[in-house]
Amino acid sequence: MYRSHRMAAGAAATVILTLGLAGSGTAQAARPADHPEASRAVTLITGDTVTLLPGNAVSVHHGPGRAKIPMLTSTTGGHVSVIPADALPMLNADRVDRRLFDVTELLSSGYGDTRGDLPLIVAESPAATAAAKASSSRTTRRLPTVGADVIRTPKSAAGRFWHALTTPAATGKVWLDAVGHVTGAEGVQQIGAPAAWQAGLTGAGVTVAVLDTGIDTTHPDLAGKVDDQVDFTPVADGGAPTRDDIHDVSGHGTVVASVIAGTGAASGGRYRGVAPDARLISGKVGDGDIMESSLIAAMEWASGEKHARVINISIGFPDSPGDDPLDTAVNRLTAANGSLFVIASGNDGARGVTSPGDADAALTVGAVDHDEHLWAGSSRGPRLGDGAVKPDVTAPGVDVTGAKSGDSFPDPGQLYTTEYGTSLAAPHAAGAAAILAQQHPGWTQPALKSALMGSATPAADLDVYEQGAGRVDVGTAVHAPVYADPPTFSLGQTWPHTDDTPIAKALTYRNTGTRPVTLALRLDVTGPDAKPAPAGLFGLGSQTLTVPAGGVAKTTISVRPLASAPDGYYSGRVTATSGDLHVTTPVGLNREPEQHTLTLEHIDRDGQPTENFYTKVIGLDSQLVIDSVDHYQAGSTALTLRVPSGRYAVVTAMYDAAFNGVAITQPVLDVNADQTVRLDGRQAGAVTIAPPDTGVVNSVTDVTVGVRGPADWTTVDMAVGDGASLYTAQLGKNGSATGFVSAIRAAYPGYQLAWHWPGRLPSGLVRNVPATDLATVNRTYRRQASAADPALETGNGFAGFPLTMATVYAPFTPTVRYNNDPGTTWRTTVSEEAYDPNYSVAYLDGGETTYEAGEAYRESFGDGVLGPCLSTADWTASALTLDVPMFCDAAGHTSRVDFTTGTTTLTRDGALIADGDRGGRATVIAAPKAGRYRLTADASRPSFDLSTRTTADWSFSITAADAGKPLTVPLSVVRFRPSLDATNTAPAGAVFTIPLEVRQQPGSVVQPVTSVRVEASFDEGETWQPAAVTRGAGSTFQARVTHPATPGFVALRATAATATTSATVTVQRAYLTATR
């Protein structure tokens, strides 16, 4: 198979690079899908901690003894990765998994610092053993198929683990034990199962393993069908998998199992599965979020121990070029045991087939609807890294009805559910494989996969990278005596095509019947221009071929040199026919477009070639973004690439032993022939910036370069600190004033200074900043926890350009001075770390702000009372998106808290529609129907002293006239703004006035507030006392309460009503009282 070089291309990408130092210092559609928090922290395998802030900004806190390690931060496709410089050699040597530095994936997988350990899969080696011992890591499972152990490394000891792992003699690789997700009977008819049943083939005697979320064995359609079930979800103490108390609370595994082998007993046979007499075994690997190690262990059990002939996996993980542990397990277990792994292609559409569906041995299944149209979300090829044909087949995956687990949400009494996705397509193919396995007891994976692909029905409007061989047709497969080997061809030609060598591949047909079969062969191929491939490019060795009974016959498929042929991907198939028999063999060709060798030489400030670089090559005419990590040649100081003709921008960051940094860019590089570019640090000028106070010591200096390609921006930021120097240089001509921008910033205690230059990067910079150029900002912060460390995290951007510079972390400073380079915006976040057993961090976001020179500003953070404020409450025709920050201060700064517990529930006319486990944040897949709704959000943050729990309870109606139409939900909140001291305390034993305001959701229909009721509690919410309320202007009110003489906490509850809505906001421990 042709393997191209690894290169990131395709979807619009945004990439942010930071090199520097930390600044001083769906099973059921209606279930809410929680959004990640806006600000969270995660400890990397190196022991460094990264905080993800609003706008994908990051703040890095180095681990012990690592203060001088530079950092590389990149953001691509919404994923933020932070790579310490000492991890680059490990990444380049393919010894650590890049996902270990993907902050977005770590957080979305639940691996943030609310979890105390980091789950890893570690290849067995002496270095791994030493690293595990040094860090007191626990081994929880062995994975013999991939030669690895599953370990849990305490984050507090991650630095020791990393140090032991990176000794010069160390070998072996470490992967993240990543989390994947489940990817999801008219379809039974669609794939021809009744024709197989008429032939007496129902899957009887064949065992199919379902590796999923478990199976409800009490469902009538599945009762008595499951011969064994094991729970492979992680066990806290590393114990063995269990067979006790296995429930399918997600419901995903149950519907998948019923599509394969359900009897349809509860529907009178209407929802019968494809192979209703097949036997099932269940390997539970999670409840929706599945760890790689759990799935691999279940694969080993199903294939090696239970000898299942067919194994269904309707689960997908993000793919990467080459084989990961999941791919390796599929391929090795297939080779060892002959099991056929039937795997969903994924629900990522054009973003590519997910893992382990990308494994060579897998039968990878995409999804079509009842009209044979490809479902929009069905993941398609070419395969990442080598351009191979994937998926292999398609099957029905839209509006598929199957058994509903009695343990799943919602409606416990409902027996069936209708779903969509490749999760439902794969079990159709798995059931078809079970039928073939019954018909041919001696067949193993090669024959089963080839027969299912060869008998598939291709759609004329889809290419092989979308559908493989076509939609599964088991009714045809059971009557087809002939299949092809191999079942698909993935071919390639490298540029230039003037010296292409001929490609010839053997195509073998196997006849399992008792009579010879004469086949008529036809090869049809479409080129990248959607026209038939040029004559003479492809060839077929035979037009007819006779395959003897029980024997084989061979021909060849060839690709000939033809310099005039268009470059790109070709899609076609060999069709062999004999009467009603047809055998389809997909053919894909990646004919590489014009490429040139681009060599980038890296020279340090001393004139010596250096390996200490991180470089981006960004397409100006294409969506191509090349990362040096993916192309590094071990021991080389040059980066050698093959790139298509076109215009590029080059940005590099280099550093020396003292961690001085050099940033060099060439905004426009024309590539139309092989060429070498020397990125020479000696050409760079020094960046020297001096604030008015010459006695302060620089915290961080950084340079940012932004480049806009056809679809999106790529931003590169390099930061240095701790007294290190920064140098910059531009090579060649300027870039576009709207498509290229650079910025330089210097941060000092009490000073933030930044400038930007559209179209160019200065070669060095000298700035002596007078006090008259600065704005002064005086800030106060009122703590929310008695044992907490507040800090300022400052980032900045530039109007018209999506540049986010590295965030500077520093202790809270009351007075900071800013310059006002036109177009510069500043964003300040105040964070507070509460040191208790939960270790929680709260962030108050100041939003983007501009300051004028010579002006003085006051900003206050953390003023009570912290409670809910409004953000997003949009209901489209199909989904409600809710984002209500539950801890906003009196100034309206939104807050996110790392360690919270909470719920969000939605009912209509008293019936539950959805519930979720994150207060104020949810996406509910449901249409806005007519009725009376109640929406409740509840959030707690036990690590803090004040506003420990906030609740918002809304009621509103949707009329019949508005049902089904998009709307902004008419929510409102009550904001309390009492006059409190610097500790958010009011006087005990006094009558106290609390100003408050009712705010209604922006974009909704504003209605007059008809009433407001306020209550206070002085006993932690046990009893409530009404407050006297008077109305002010507009939607403002005042409430009067009498504080007890005994100091303590005050809780507040207020209900505001309009003609059609009501809102009740409750804040526990809203503020303190004290004797004065």
Q: Is 396 helix (H, G, I), strand (E, B) or coil?
A: strand
| Calpha distance 872→886 (Å, rounded) | 12
Backbone φ, ψ for residue 1034 (5° rounding): 60, -125
423 among known catalytic residues: yes
What is the per-residue pLDDT for 795?
Answer: 79
The answer on pLDDT for 391 being more than 50 is yes
Place of tokens 């929706």: 288
Q: Which pLDDT band holds residue 719 (cuts at 50, 70, 90)?
A: confident
Average pLDDT of the residues in 670-682: 97
CB 358 within 8 A of CB 325: no
Let me know whether 167 and 199 are in one domain.
no
Let me know whether 1037 and 957 are in one domain.
yes
Q: Is 14 within a domain?
A: no
What is the per-residue pLDDT for 18?
Answer: 27
What is the per-residue pLDDT for 799?
Answer: 80
**Of 51, 81, 63, which is closest to residue 829 (Cα–Cα)?**
51
What is the per-residue pLDDT for 263?
Answer: 94
H-helix or E-strand containing 1073? Answer: strand 1062-1074
CB 342 within 8 A of CB 363: yes
Average pLDDT of the residues in 748-768: 95
Q: Is 678 within a domain?
A: yes
Q: Is 1060 within a domain?
A: yes
Average pLDDT of the residues in 195-212: 94
Comparing 36-45, 845-854, 1053-1062, which segment has the lowest mean pLDDT? Answer: 36-45
What is the per-residue pLDDT for 238?
Answer: 53
CB 601 within 8 A of CB 654: no
| Helix, strand counts (H, E) of the chain | 13, 70
| Calpha distance 474→455 (Å, rounded) | 8
Higher pLDDT: 112 or 1063? It is: 1063
Comparing 331-335, 627-631, 771-775, 850-854, which segment has the lowest mean pLDDT? Answer: 627-631
Amino acid in position 774: L
Higher pLDDT: 1020 or 93? It is: 1020
pTM: 0.79
| Calpha distance 457→476 (Å, rounded) | 9
> Which of 798, 826, 861 finishes a domain?
861
What is the per-residue pLDDT for 245?
Answer: 60
CB 193 within 8 A of CB 327: no
What is the per-residue pLDDT for 835?
Answer: 62
CB atoms < 10 A from the CB of 58, how many?
A: 25
Q: What is the pLDDT of residues 393-417, one digit of tens each?
A: 999 999 899 999 887 765 656 898 8
What is the per-residue pLDDT for 838?
Answer: 58
Place of tokens 């979305």: 108
> Which of 591, 616, 636 finishes a domain?
591
The answer on pLDDT for 31 being more than 50 is no
Question: Can you give the CATH number for the domain in which 554 is found?
Answer: 2.60.40.2310
| Calpha distance 964→943 (Å, rounded) | 42
Let me know whether 313 and 429 are in one domain.
yes
1030 forms beta bridges with: 1038
CB atoms < 10 A from the CB of 381, how many?
A: 28
CB 874 within 8 A of CB 966: yes
Q: Is 846 helix (H, G, I), strand (E, B) or coil?
A: strand
**How far are the Cα atoms of 329, 332, 467 from residue 147, in angstroms, in the given order?**
10, 11, 34
Let me know whether 88 and 104 are in one domain.
yes
Q: Is 485 within a domain?
A: no
The answer on pLDDT for 827 being more than 90 is no
Residue numbers of the domain that contains 74: 35-177
Q: What is the pLDDT of residues 627-647, one digit of tens each?
A: 887 787 777 899 999 999 999
The answer on pLDDT for 2 being more than 70 is no
The upper half-sphere exposure of residue 774, i.e. CA atoms within 13 Å in the direction of its Cβ, equals 19
> Which of 456, 479, 502 finishes a domain?
479
**Of 296, 330, 27, 322, which is closest to residue 181 (Cα–Cα)?**
27
CB 426 within 8 A of CB 420: no
Let me know whether 432 and 578 are in one domain.
no
Let me know whether 240 and 283 are in one domain.
yes
Q: Is 888 within a domain?
A: yes
Secondary structure E strands in 23-115: 40-43, 49-53, 57-61, 71-76, 79-84
252 among known catalytic residues: yes
What is the per-residue pLDDT for 222?
Answer: 96
Residue of 81, 293, 314, 423 marked active site: 423
**Of 282, 293, 237, which is closest to residue 256 (Cα–Cα)?**
282
**Of 1065, 1076, 1033, 1074, which is closest to residue 865 (Cα–Cα)?**
1065
The size of the chain, in residues, is 1076
| Calpha distance 845→895 (Å, rounded) | 6
Mean of pLDDT over the chain: 88
Q: Is 146 helix (H, G, I), strand (E, B) or coil?
A: helix
Residue of 102, 113, 117, 212 marked active site: 212
What is the per-residue pLDDT for 6?
Answer: 28
CB 359 within 8 A of CB 343: yes
**How far are the Cα atoms of 12, 708, 725, 984 from residue 712, in angstroms, in the given order?**
6, 6, 31, 45
Comparing 116-120, 459-463, 543-547, 643-647, which segment has the lowest mean pLDDT? Answer: 116-120
Higher pLDDT: 321 or 16? It is: 321
Q: Is 26 within a domain?
A: no
Let me know whether 933 and 1050 are in one domain.
yes
Residues in Cβ contact with 224 at an 8 Å cutoff, skipping those fewer than 6 apart: none
What is the per-residue pLDDT for 843?
Answer: 80
CB 836 within 8 A of CB 804: no
Let me know whether 878 and 833 are in one domain.
no
Let me know whether 816 and 896 are in one domain.
no
Let me know whether 385 and 442 are in one domain.
yes
The answer on pLDDT for 319 being more than 90 is no
Beta-sheet strand order (sheet of 49-53)? 40-43, 49-53, 57-61
Q: What is the pLDDT of residues 567-615, one digit of tens each?
A: 999 999 999 999 999 999 999 999 999 999 999 999 999 999 998 888 9
What six digits make up the tokens of 26? 């769906």
What six digits make up the tokens of 208? 């199919």
**Angle between helical axes of 158-165 and 126-134 (0-180°, round to 10):** 160
As a whole number of angstroms, the longest Cα–Cα distance in the chain is 103
Alpha-carbon dihedral of residues 839, 845, 851, 857, nearest 10 degrees? -70
Average pLDDT of the residues in 656-676: 94
Question: Can you give the CATH number for the domain in which 1033 is found?
Answer: 2.60.40.10
The answer on pLDDT for 681 being more than 90 is yes
Q: Is 28 within a domain?
A: no
| Calpha distance 307→302 (Å, rounded) | 6
Residue of 62, 252, 428, 756 marked active site: 252
Q: Is 30 within a domain?
A: no
Q: Which pLDDT band holds residue 135 (cuts at 50, 70, 90)?
A: confident
| Calpha distance 303→300 (Å, rounded) | 5
Residues in Cβ contact with 415 at an 8 Å cutoff, skipping those fewer than 6 apart: 219, 220, 266, 267, 403, 404
Let me know whether 399 and 548 are in one domain.
no
Secondary structure E strands in 889-1001: 894-897, 901-908, 911-916, 921-925, 931-940, 949-958, 967-968, 972-976, 985-987, 991-1000
Let me know whether 705 and 850 are in one domain.
yes
> What percentage of the chain has pLDDT greater than the value 90?
60
| Calpha distance 1044→1033 (Å, rounded) | 30
Place of tokens 């490990």: 90
Q: Which pLDDT band holds residue 53 (cuts at 50, 70, 90)?
A: confident
| Calpha distance 853→855 (Å, rounded) | 6
**Angle between helical axes of 422-439 and 445-454 (0-180°, round to 10):** 110
> What percentage of the chain has pLDDT greater than the value 70?
92
369 among known catalytic residues: no
What is the per-residue pLDDT for 39?
Answer: 45
Number of domains in the chain: 5
